[in-house]
Amino acid sequence: MPQAVISGTGLYQPPHIVTNEELVTAYNAYAEQQNALNADVIARGEAVAMVPSSVEFIEKASGIKQRYVVVKDGVLDPTRMRPKFQERGDDELSLMAEIAVEIQQALGAGGYGFDMNVACSSATFAIEQAVNAVRSGSVKCALVVNPEITSAHIEWKDRDCHFIFGDVCTATVIESADTATSPDQWEIVGTRLATQFSNAIRNNFGFINRSEDSDPLARDKTFRQEGRKVFKEVVPMAAAHIEAHLKSQGLEPTQMRRFWLHQANLGMNQLILKKLVGAEAGSEMAPLVLDTYANTSSAGSIIAFHEYHADLKPGDLGVICSFGAGYSIGSVIVRRK
């Protein structure tokens, strides 16, 4: 059976940055505007006044300091509070396809010839699909692309989540080791997936909405979560998943040189690593890109791997792990060749 390796990664960084300071200024202006419009019902106790946000609140709650967005226009407008995308014709690429093609062309120029392309809402899930294709001999080289335009579904008007997401696109090249020529190769020791149903992270947007005569701009049509519940449930699930996956390969968490984890919350990642290795884990063991990119959904763990793997030596082991809505968890154990 052919051995599968990661032989390259790519990263598309959108052109615009939204800082926490900019975000707070826009949100607080919107909150003040809404409180003024609803002053009477608030005074009667029939509604609750919107609470202002702050940079300190955002950084303490998440560790995020900024985020990249494909389109900044509209995001910071207190009368709009969402990106202003241009509608595209039937003969044009979608926005997600456009950035995926851009990153594919960049990697293709590096000498890769892709037999299979996979675009997926979870990088680790798609990596397993590509690995299986390589190991079966059906393809020699596969490209996993993860375009994330999360700015379109975040609720910029909600203090509890207006800071969470950013846009990005990542790519991972999965090849057969016997044909890979890249000097930077990572043997894929094992992959493992898990799902457990949860309603704690969701939105209700979909094609049936118009038949329900529901408001397309209603709060439930954008991202929402029960944050404390997610934290409480996902941390032990992710830690147990990684530990069991390593054990199945005869490995222990303490043998790992690095963990490239999903980038959703700094405290969540720190607690997962504490459960795994029994001590506080710094950026050397679990690098953070959350502060710069925010939560980029499926792309976060791949951004971390892309930016923080060059210093590892042949034989060093690590785990790439994504987790989140669903709940779904995927892990990839890798060894530097």
Catalytic (active-site) positions: 120
Give the span between the Cα atoms of 106 and 58, in whole angstroms. 35
Strand pairing of 328-336 and 224-225? unpaired
Look up residue 264 and give its DSSP letter.
S
Identify the DSSP state of 8.
Answer: E
Q: For residues 141 and 152, what is the distance between their CA atoms, to the nearest angstrom?
A: 32
Burial per residue of 127-141, b for 16 or more beta-carbon CB atoms within 10 angstroms, e otherwise: bbbbbebbbeeebbb
Q: Which two tokens stand for residue 175?
A: 């090849």
What is the Cβ-side half-sphere exposure of residue 336, based on CA atoms within 13 angstroms? 17
**What is the C-alpha separation between 240 and 252, in angstroms, rounded?**
12
